[in-house]
Amino acid sequence: MEDRKLYRSRSDSIISGVCGGLAQYLQIDASLVRIFFVLLALSNGLGVLIYMLLWIVVPREDFARDATLADTTRAAAQEIADQARSMGEDIRQAVRKPDTKVGIYIGIGLIVVGVLTLLQNFDLPWLHWLTADMLWPVLLIVAGLALLTRWRRRD
């Protein structure tokens, strides 16, 4: 039996390498692990907590093999702080120089939500199925289809 250890991936990393490392450890596609964490985060928020704990506890792939848990935690805390600073700078840049396409998409989304809410307030009999419980899944599906369409156009 091979001696596998769980590490955060250096090469297959979007935020911190947790999903990439889990995928390598479980020998599955990293996209499946990422989808699992997103679904877990959207369903009850537990995905975010588990991800953060794994980020702190699981060492980076290139970290010293004999490092203690305290060393791993200290390095992960510094990495989280660096990521937060970087994200703050990205947000600052986005506010200073907003992308016009993003503004258009947000505007269209707000108009759609506003129109649907207005129609729901008219209390039309044929729109009784339109509730917030139905609206969010539909909006998620539309957003997913938009992303897939955009991705497909790039190829």
- Tens of each residue's pLDDT in the chain, 155 residues: 466 788 888 888 888 888 899 988 888 888 888 888 888 888 777 888 888 888 888 888 776 566 777 877 888 888 888 888 888 888 787 777 766 677 777 778 788 878 877 777 777 777 777 676 776 777 778 777 777 777 677 65
pTM of the model: 0.52
- Residue 19 near residue 54, CB atoms below 8 Å: no
> And the tokens for 79?
């990495």
- Residue 36 near residue 46, CB atoms below 8 Å: no
What integer pLDDT is reported at residue 132 of this predicted model? 66
